[in-house]
Structure 1
């Protein structure tokens, strides 16, 4: 078989160049080029019999001559990575292997095989960007936790403090300077322990709750604190509890001070970092503390006789009036959160506590309003809320969010009788990927599968990761089997493309799908999941890498 046999090299999917070595003039002559090279680089079609210098621009010719000369020097194959221009404004990445061909110990030809690795390079770049974004996200989350001015701790289900931020460490030192007491109930045992335990158990049942406690520091200084418990839920299970602790002493003291002495109240208010207001029954400001200027940018003197509603976000007007009316009617404290407007038109979250004050005859006089900046806490709670309903590795919905949306779809179906579908998806032999390529590769595959699934469905559909290598997709209002088939073809097409982990690690994987199309009158969420899961089991049992549909 001749080295330059055109039939052989034309059958290759990579670009192939057979170069004859001219030792006399130290040139490399194009002797054969395969069809792939002619398609990718049309300018080389007429290059047979010409040298590298005669065919290529000077800079490119210099680079090519360097690599081919290196083969002559080392008498060994070499491999290098470079870019090449296909056409104007389009560049591809390539991996070139140059292999010497000997005749009586003399190199007569060099065969160049050029592989297009553009997609691999793009995958590497995307992978690095994903890692950088994930790293940045973790940094932001850590900063949000560590630098938050509220005392925040993460507790296990026994109340032990697993980790806490700097503000929490300062708070804990008021009760235990040794640092040995790391259980929330031991630290706060001097308060209403029974009530604290009740609220903690409610949080374990996935409710966000709060409780106000009266306590004393190690120096026997009375303190009033608010403890808020926020459950951390993963795969429908409460894994731990976030605890946010606030010192409420200033707010309560403001009310007590007012009842004892108007002069003493103003002394406290004018030195408080919180917003303190006196408001009449029509929400008109009778007094605004100086802190309004430092926090919101308003001159406190100019706020008096203006409506509090002017400071409140338009969407919270109804909420504010409702709480003021209820506080006055029941003569009880109301606590709620609203956004206040700053002087430069920003919106900032505050927790308002309104306290109705009566005169000596027991008749309503005015309200005392204490506003505390909770902007950082709201951002933190929103982050916790996101983590409660989304998978941290892929960002898609978790089992809990899918269950919520499935309940909504089932309710909608019962009213309108429009069919919907549930797809269960499992990566075949995923353990082999982890064993052969490592868990980093496994994570990349999981992330890529999630990304492809999201790109295959509508905005109204829900892609969810159930855990491990298992996913689910909820398709509301799918109408017909034909519509479902269209979606499945699109999903299968996306999932069958190669998965790229690094330059030398790309592979195909098998995906099994179990699909349940619901068209019956009777329906409940549990049976839908069960039917889809059975279909997935049948797909696995039938040989994997296939789709089974039940209806």
Structure 2
């Protein structure tokens, strides 16, 4: 019994006895495997060894029938240590008495964690080796007794065989014929039998018979036993061999060329001399005493002295103010330095100064001693003049010669520093010619340029020498008035400017009258920097224009508030689209003959946080000016189409949704693609979408607009002219643009019942539309009298508060549903 106890206590596997699902006894190895202090496991429930109660139950269900039959239970599974960590074990169990379960069970547990890790590493190694073999960039195959037993995909690719088709074939398939195969065997067999590495290049064949060059590496698996086979590695070197052949050919050609080149050198020497004589650059040489030793024709033309006059003499071409620089260059080049492309000033025989781009290089004899120097010179006088002109233009306006914005900024900054130091004021005047665009459009840009030049002269007559006049571009000028005692000191200059500009200009036989609007910003009251003063003078100028033009206006803070509000709207619009702050309201459009709702105009509203609904009249101009109308317009188009399709899918009567297109949106955006995207994305039938265009849009860039309108019509959408009669109404564009409907502006409809002129205009529009087979719709209909008169005039459709205000989408759906029910 003591011997069994010793075996139990020293066994390398864990051994425990259980009875009634509790540990009766276990050896030290068992406690060690499961991380329990020896002795603590006794009395523990059998579930402490399992990761979960479910695992414990599963093992019980599996083991019970096996143990009941008196058979051993054997399983590998993850089990639980006392600290909760997992240990993989091989568990074997057997009932002590299968007929009496109360007798208990003996369990043997073996920690197989290391074995499982070793198996996993082996599997990983095999997978990596397989991956290397299958993905190798070279072909690899194994042969046994001359038969292919395995090869990788690259080997099949190189030799043009389908996947798996090489297995079982002999290596004869890689050779042209039996003789070729025999020759190869004679080369490699001795090496393989000695266990040496074969490394050979051979001309093999592909499956289709086409030749290829291969580099073949091979080694016997067991040199003493040829039946064990060999491993072969093959690389396609066809391209490399072709390159080598080309290189060999190139080598032969090079040797031939060297021989030819040697013969050409003498000829090249003669050509070089000819080139020097014909070169456009002055090329001449001098000795160490500065005596000219050669002088080409270009040097004769550049300096004015012939070779006969100057060879053997020093060149008297260095101006007195350039002597020091010349002597410095001379010391450097005679000291052995090559001076590349230095710019110098020289003078011709006639005394005219010229700019030269000059390169100087020392000349040496066979012993390496400096004997003189070579000069190559190009006349860059024209380039230098151009550079000076460019430098001038960088700071001046091309047309008038006035300082541009860059130079103005520099002068204002200097004037501000001076004014601050001496406690003085200065004024910045922002001037804009009134109606200058009309002159350009009517008389052409040449006349417009002449007017700007004449205006420049007039303004300069009103200014002091210390003042600065700058042109900012177009018809905008800025004046800097320095050294002002107070703001009233600028008034006489402003009055004089207005008076001068009101005098007519006589240009090319045309008597032109113009005026200026001037905004004034003062330092230090309105700002202490160029940018701030410019911004405020610009605001004041626009206020002068709003005040009737031909006047001036000093900046005040009210303008700043309006500008800030404008900026806030612009910034808010950028955020609104991303934040989903826009919404559409829909105003019903009614068929007058039947009273049936046949359409809805989509009207944009901005539900701004903290402000509520902002109407379009306040933010649309800002959106158009900033270009944000393009993405906003695309959103409106997409949302209107989506909503119209949703109404259809909800079973409501089909209505045509009308969407306004801004002229800015039409010019800057790709309207055709936006419409197509909206229709495709929402599934709305094209005939259920109406695009409202303004009259002004139809007369700008007519051909481009016409082409776009025609493509929109091809999509199947409807087109209408919005606010008809308020713009440049023309029968010709109605005929060419193939619109479907005219929308009579509410300014004519509003007083329809009380103003005979408005009634006559509306009647004429309706009659003209009917003659052109166009429908008409009146907007702003608010009374029964208006509706009655429109029906008498045979107007087709109407919209306005008489029928309904613009409604949110859900309210419009209820309105439409109620109308259907009647």
* TM, length-normalised to structure 1: 0.42
The structure where strand makes up a greater share of residues is 1
Q: Which has the higher contact order (CA 8 A, sep 6+)?
A: 1
- Highest Rg: 1 or 2? 2
The structure where helix makes up a greater share of residues is 2
